[in-house]
């Protein structure tokens, strides 16, 4: 395709986010020139995260990041200073790049910036979760803010139908659902060479460590499982970081399972498939979840999954068909489901097969990105 036919897209999103890295890098496989605008304290690492020559950057440090300085939680004067500084720098980057449209990921931060920066260009806004499930419930001002933001873009996107339903509480407009898909080859072709031993049964989870992640219930279920099978060796891998880490480490000590639990912290996105393929069962005990990205990735690795009945997880997994669904905040139910998978090989194989087929059909990133590019082409330059 000739250069003149290439799309030019400005994406406003946090560069350190694994979701940003996945989407931007996959978009770069297509005839698209990308300008990534966002907040980063490590701009020197950007090229390692985004190796394509078709991706350029304009970043500001986290000191002006609206995630830390939420719009209605600091003084109006300081908010305006931060806004002016970011709009000023990003405006000149956009002017030089000349994108055909802007796509803001995360409505309350980058959606606001996009509304100031778009000029005559089309603006897309993608909601990610807490920006619609939590933010508008903080006060009437937060609700009005979301209602304003929803009036600005040409298109609004959600990663799940349950999130789209939540967005529609604040607008009557159509919400496009495009999931965070997975690269089927990247996950399915991974080897299990990192697995400790063939006799070790590895359970695992990938999630930011907050109380809403339900990881404490996983630890309790792991303790019960280890006690139930005293002649087997179990390991628990927990990937992610967050302020709840010390509480979880203390709980592991209290349960006397610290030697069998590994808190790996944050792992580079490209390494996630390797760690997933170490696991025999993936468990997502989230209390709140708008979409289970890591669950989808585990299913793509042909790993049986156990998930809570949080709305975003029930949308991905069908109970006893492509995984097992358990009630939230229920470590006993998690334990019982682990036992079921370990002792019922026929069911385990059925869950794995059905899950992988569902991922191929609904959550293949190639199909998901092509859905997005359809909208880019529909609105470019309008």
* Per-residue confidence band for 60, with pLDDT thresholds at 50, 70 and 90: confident
Task: Please choose, from the candidates 65, 293, 32, the residue with its C-alpha nearest in 3D space to the C-alpha of residue 180.
Answer: 293
292-319: b (≥16 Cβ within 10 Å) or e: bbbbbbbbbbbbbbbbbbbbbbbbbbee
Classified as helix, coil or strand, 372 is helix
pLDDT beyond 90 at 124: yes
Which position has the higher pLDDT, 268 or 147?
147
* Per-residue confidence band for 78, with pLDDT thresholds at 50, 70 and 90: low
373 vs 151: CA distance, rounded Å? 22
Residue-level pLDDT at 61:
73
pLDDT beyond 50 at 68: no
DSSP H/E element including 236: strand 233-239
Residue-level pLDDT at 4:
56
List the single range of 39-43, 137-141, 177-181 with lowest mean pLDDT: 39-43
Which position has the higher pLDDT, 93 or 42?
93
347 vs 353: CA distance, rounded Å? 10
Edge-to-edge strand ranges of the sheet holding 7-12: 55-60, 32-39, 7-12, 101-105, 123-126, 155-158, 176-177
* Per-residue confidence band for 290, with pLDDT thresholds at 50, 70 and 90: confident
How much of the chain, in percent, has pLDDT values that exceed 70? 90
Vertex 223: Cα angle to 328 and 275 (nearest 5): 80
How much of the chain, in percent, has pLDDT values that exceed 90? 68
Residue-level pLDDT at 80:
59
Q: pTM (2 decimals)?
A: 0.84
Q: Which domains, ranges and CATH numbers included, belong to the chain?
A: 3-181+364-379 (3.40.50.2000), 184-362 (3.40.50.2000)
Task: Please choose, from the candidates 204, 190, 206, the residue with its C-alpha nearest in 3D space to the C-alpha of residue 268.
Answer: 206
**Residue tagged 């799309």 (tokens):** 7
Q: Residues 110-121: what's their mean pLDDT?
A: 90
128-146: b (≥16 Cβ within 10 Å) or e: bbebbbebbeeeeebeebb
Average pLDDT, the chain: 89
pLDDT beyond 50 at 76: no
Determine phi and psi for 359, rounding to 5 degrees. -65, -45
In this structure, what token pair is assigned to residue 267?
A: 């792992």
pLDDT beyond 80 at 71: no
Q: Residues 13-18: what's their mean pLDDT?
A: 88
Residue-level pLDDT at 197:
58
In this structure, what token pair is assigned to residue 134?
A: 């939590």
* Per-residue confidence band for 220, with pLDDT thresholds at 50, 70 and 90: very high
Residue-level pLDDT at 74:
47
* Per-residue confidence band for 223, with pLDDT thresholds at 50, 70 and 90: very high
How far apart are the two ends of the chain, measured CA to CA in Å?
Answer: 22
pLDDT tens figures, 300-357 = 999 999 999 999 999 999 999 999 999 999 999 999 999 999 999 999 999 999 999 9
Q: Residues 42-63: what's their mean pLDDT?
A: 82
Residue-level pLDDT at 39:
85
């Amino acid at each position: 395709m000739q250069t003149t036919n290439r799309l030019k897209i400005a994406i406003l999103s946090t560069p350190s986010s694994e979701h940003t890295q996945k989407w931007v890098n996959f978009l770069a496989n297509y005839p698209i020139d990308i300008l990534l605008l966002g907040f980063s304290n490590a701009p020197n690492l950007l090229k390692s995260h985004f190796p394509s020559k078709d991706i350029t950057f304009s970043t500001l440090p986290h000191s002006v990041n609206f995630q830390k300085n939420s719009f209605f939680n600091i003084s109006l004067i300081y908010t305006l200073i931060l806004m002016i500084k970011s709009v000023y720098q990003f405006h000149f980057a956009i002017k030089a790049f000349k994108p055909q449209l802007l796509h803001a990921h995360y409505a309350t931060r980058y959606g606001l910036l996009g509304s100031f920066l778009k000029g005559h260009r089309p603006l897309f806004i993608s909601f990610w979760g807490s920006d619609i499930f939590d933010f508008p419930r903080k006060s009437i001002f937060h609700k009005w803010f979301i209602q304003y933001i929803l009036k600005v873009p040409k298109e609004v996107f959600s990663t799940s139908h349950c999130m789209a339903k939540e967005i529609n509480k604040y607008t009557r407009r159509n919400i496009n659902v495009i999931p965070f898909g997975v690269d089927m080859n990247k996950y399915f072709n991974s080897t299990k060479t990192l697995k400790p031993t063939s006799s070790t049964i590895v359970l695992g989870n990938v999630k930011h460590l907050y109380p809403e992640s339900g990881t404490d219930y996983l630890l309790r279920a792991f303790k019960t499982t280890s006690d139930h099978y005293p002649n087997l060796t179990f390991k628990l891998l927990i990937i992610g970081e967050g302020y709840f880490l010390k509480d979880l480490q203390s709980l592991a000590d209290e349960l006397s399972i610290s030697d069998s639990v590994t808190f790996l912290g944050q792992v580079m996105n490209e390494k996630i498939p390797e760690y997933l393929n170490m696991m025999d069962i993936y468990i997502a005990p989230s209390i709140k979840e708008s979409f289970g990205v890591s669950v989808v990735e585990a299913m793509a690795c042909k790993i049986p999954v156990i998930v809570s009945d949080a709305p975003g997880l029930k949308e991905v997994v069908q109970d006893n068909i492509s995984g097992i669904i358990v009630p939230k905040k229920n470590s006993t139910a998690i334990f019982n489901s682990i036992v079921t998978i370990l002792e019922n090989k026929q069911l385990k194989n059925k869950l794995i097969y059905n899950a992988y087929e569902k991922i191929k059909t609904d959550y293949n990133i190639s199909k998901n990105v092509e859905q997005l590019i359809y909208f880019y082409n529909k609105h470019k330059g309008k």
